[in-house]
């Protein structure tokens, strides 16, 4: 126990020394170098093991095991500290932390996901951008980024939509599911992102056309915009909607076709009006 106490004391003095070396007047508390308590325990255990009477091979084996444990722990803690640094008032500090998190790759994901719920909007936005940059399967990152579409900050919601667009086709199945989300913010931003991605048509178009009758006007408006963005490839599917028994669907399909504005689209609108006037 005496040795353990002394080792903790030495580690504490080392911390104070390092803090003095790395502290600057403009440093944020989150940027200071500290040892996590669990790392201290492992350091103590490692030193005590070296003091024990063990064979050299056993000693080496145990040292390697605990060095690995310490490395894993320090990576997790380091990612958390870097996420906090995304809220630094100094831009160069934020950029450095952002790049370091991307370089960490998948090991930074848990800390970045926590960052999406931070009180600081700068931390939330940069955490989302970093998640979109990390090379992981879409199944891991897209559902997380979709939650960004409900952020209270409009700039962050727009950024979330842009991130999903950048991911492209792998994000499409998740965005189509998001068209049925409870939140209208998620639905309208998902529709916008699908319009910007644009393909595959056979998957995106039926989902968007079905959402033309969404109960929220803003969602319907963004769906029309998405279909107009896709342009001529959407015309045939919209013409079919002009024959629907649902007057709301016909009205929104007509609006989309009118905005697309190709001769085929305008002719289809004229034919539909004539057909319904004759009935």
Q: Residue 230's domain is classified under what CATH number?
A: 1.25.10.10
Contact indicator for 135, 109 with CB cutoff of 8 Å: no
Note whether 131 and 143 are same-domain residues.
Answer: no
pLDDT digit string, tens, across residues 245-274: 888 898 999 999 999 999 999 999 988 888
CA distance 85 to 52: 41
Report pLDDT for 193: 93
pLDDT classification of 60: cutoffs 50, 70, 90: low
Does residue 57 form part of some domain?
A: no
CA distance 130 to 276: 53
C-alpha 110/C-alpha 168 separation (Å) is 23
- Residue 58 above 70 pLDDT? no
Query: Integer distance in angstroms from the first to the last C-alpha of the chain?
Result: 95
Q: What pLDDT is attached to residue 272?
A: 84
Beta-carbon contacts of residue 268 (< 8 Å; ≥ 6 apart): 235, 238, 239, 242, 257
The CATH number of whichever domain residue 110 belongs to comes to 1.25.10
Residue 57 has a pLDDT of 60
The model carries a pTM of: 0.68
Query: Looking at residues 16-44, what average pLDDT do you find?
Result: 43
Return mean pLDDT, the chain: 79
Same domain, 120 and 144: no
Tell me, yes or no, whether 240 and 125 share the same domain: no
Look at residue 3 and tell me whether its pLDDT is greater than 80.
no
- CB 20: neighbour CB atoms within 10 A? 8
pLDDT beyond 50 at 164: yes
Residue 234 lies in a domain: yes
pLDDT of res. 172: 94
pLDDT value of position 63: 57
178 by Cβ neighbours in 10 Å (0-12 / 13-18 / 19+) ranks as buried
Whether 38 maps to a domain, the answer reads: yes
Same domain, 77 and 158: no
Domain final residue, candidates 81, 107, 135: 135
What is the mean predicted confidence (pLDDT) over 209-238? 94
Question: Tens digit of pLDDT for each residue in 128-161?
Answer: 999 888 888 888 888 888 989 889 998 888 888 8
Q: Tell me the mean pLDDT in the region 73-94.
A: 86
Half-sphere exposure of 203 (CA within 13 A, CB side): 14
Whether 4 and 48 have beta carbons less than 8 Å apart is answered as: yes
Query: How far is residue 233's CA from residue 33's CA, in Å, rounded to a whole number?
Result: 56
| Token pair 């009180």 in the structure block, residue | 119
Distance of CA 31 to the CA centre of its chain: 24
């Amino acid at each position: 126990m005496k040795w353990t106490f002394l080792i903790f004391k030495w580690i504490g003095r080392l911390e104070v020394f390092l803090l003095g070396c790395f502290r600057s007047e403009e440093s944020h508390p989150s940027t200071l170098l500290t040892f996590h308590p669990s790392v201290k325990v492992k350091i103590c255990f490692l030193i005590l093991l070296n003091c024990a009477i063990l064979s050299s091979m056993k000693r080496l084996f145990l040292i390697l095991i605990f060095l690995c444990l310490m490395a894993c722990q320090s990576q997790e803690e380091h990612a958390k500290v870097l996420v906090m640094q995304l809220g630094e008032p100094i831009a160069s500090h934020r950029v450095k932390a952002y790049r370091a998190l991307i370089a960490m790759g998948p090991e930074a994901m848990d800390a970045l996901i926590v960052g999406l719920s931070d009180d600081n909007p700068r931390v939330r936005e940069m955490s989302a951008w970093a998640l979109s940059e990390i090379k992981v399967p879409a199944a891991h990152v897209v559902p997380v980024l979709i939650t960004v579409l409900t952020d209270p900050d409009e700039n962050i919601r727009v950024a979330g939509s842009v991130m999903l667009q950048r991911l492209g086709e792998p994000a499409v199945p998740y965005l189509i599911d998001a068209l049925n989300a409870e939140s209208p913010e998620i639905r309208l931003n998902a529709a916008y992102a699908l319009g910007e991605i644009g393909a595959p048509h056979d998957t995106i178009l039926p989902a968007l056309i079905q959402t033309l009758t969404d109960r929220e006007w803003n969602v319907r408006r963004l769906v029309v915009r998405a279909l107009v963005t896709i342009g001529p490839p959407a015309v045939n599917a919209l013409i079919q909607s002009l024959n629907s028994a649902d007057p709301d669907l016909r009205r929104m399909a007509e609006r989309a076709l009118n905005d697309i504005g190709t001769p085929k689209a305008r002719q289809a609108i004229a034919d539909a009006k004539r057909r319904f006037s004759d009935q």
